């Protein structure tokens, strides 16, 4: 399959390149397009005319987005809208990744795809606008919402916590935000399986929740990282749980980021591993 991949240098994009080695991958350099100028995307898509477009690119600076709303919406909403319109025109399928931050976190149970979004911050609002643009475009698409993404590269909680736990004697981590840490490698593997199912005739379009199984808090995630540091004979700070109110940030975060993955299992027979199993695979 000929696949055009935006965001190839990011966490998910780098793992997708490994997982999709059996396909013809087109990874355009940033010099050939600019997500902040969505009108630069259509000529590239028309020129390449892939069988599938994967958008793993996004503006992900959640706190900075509160001051850079225009840029966040250009990259997370307007750019996907241009991609989707071009895909609809040319008969190209589209896979796009979204976020748990489209929800406000007030629901006591894991969120379903049918639940009404209500983002608390600019980042979540921009990602929701991108989802809606794709859904209304008429192109064949999969919108995959995921959460708490990490990898062995890039900027993420895993790498930050590994550094802090080895530099400090004590680290305080929020314990009242609940979600599922999801390894970028698990996302890439699941995406590959979805592409294979598409090729085999399952041509469903729609929105799905795609996260690792299980749940924890940021404190629980940090504790798991610390356990693996100690097991490897490396230094590890004491980890203390704190409420979100003790760690104020410019952007509000949902307390409940759990996403229910039953639709993905039902429609695609696809279930991601438990988050701790995925963490071990990432670090292995």
- pLDDT per residue as tens digits for the range 207-258: 999 999 999 999 999 999 999 999 999 999 999 999 999 999 999 999 999 9
Structural domain including 106 reads: 2-155+180-214+254-274
Position 247 in a domain:
no
Position 52 in a domain:
yes
pLDDT value for 43:
94
If one counts the domains in the chain, the total is: 1
Position 109 in a domain:
yes
Position 26 in a domain:
yes
Catalytic residue list contains 101: no
User: If you count DSSP H runs as helices and E runs as strands, how many of each does the chain have, helices first?
Assistant: 10, 12
Integer Cα distance of 201 and 227 in angstroms: 43
pLDDT value for 99:
98
Position 136 in a domain:
yes
pLDDT value for 138:
94
Other beta carbons within 10 Å of 206: 11
| Residue 201 reports pLDDT greater than 90 | no
Element (H, E) at 10: none
> For the domain that residue 58 is a member of, what is the CATH number?
3.40.50.720
| Residue 30 reports pLDDT greater than 90 | no
Asked whether the whole model's pTM tops 0.85, one would answer yes
Position 236 in a domain:
no
Position 42 in a domain:
yes
Tens-digit pLDDT profile for residues 91-110: 999 999 999 999 999 999 99
Position 139 in a domain:
yes
**Residues 59, 101, 123, 150: which is the catalytic one?**
123
Q: Region 114-134: what's the mean pLDDT?
A: 98
């Amino acid at each position: 399959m000929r696949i055009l991949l935006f965001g190839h240098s990011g966490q998910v994009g780098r793992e997708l390149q490994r997982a999709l080695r059996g396909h013809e991958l087109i990874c355009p350099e940033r010099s050939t397009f600019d997500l902040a100028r969505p009108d630069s995307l259509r000529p590239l898509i028309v020129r390449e005319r892939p069988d599938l477009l994967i958008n793993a690119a996004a503006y992900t600076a959640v706190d900075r987005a509160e001051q850079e709303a225009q840029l966040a919406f250009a990259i997370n909403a307007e750019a996907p809208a241009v991609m989707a319109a071009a895909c609809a025109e040319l008969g190209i399928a589209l896979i796009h990744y979204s976020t748990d931050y489209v929800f406000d976190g007030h629901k006591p149970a894991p969120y379903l795809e049918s639940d009404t979004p209500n983002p608390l911050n600019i980042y979540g609002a921009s990602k929701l606008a991108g989802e809606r643009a794709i859904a209304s475009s008429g192109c064949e698409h999969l919108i995959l919402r995921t959460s708490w993404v990490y990898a062995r590269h890039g900027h993420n909680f895993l790498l930050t916590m590994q550094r802090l736990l080895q530099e400090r004697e004590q680290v305080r981590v929020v314990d009242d935000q609940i979600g599922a840490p999801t390894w970028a490698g698990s996302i890439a593997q699941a995406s590959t399986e979805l592409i294979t199912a598409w090729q085999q005739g399952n041509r469903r379009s729609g929105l799905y929740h795609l996260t690792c199984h299980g749940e924890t808090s940021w404190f629980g995630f940090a504790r798991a990282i610390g356990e693996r540091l100690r097991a490897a004979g490396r230094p590890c700070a004491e980890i203390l749980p704190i409420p979100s109110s003790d760690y104020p940030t410019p952007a509000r975060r949902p307390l409940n980021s759990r996403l229910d993955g039953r639709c993905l299992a039902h429609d695609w027979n696809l279930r991601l591993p438990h988050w701790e199993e995925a963490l071990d695979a990432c670090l292995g």
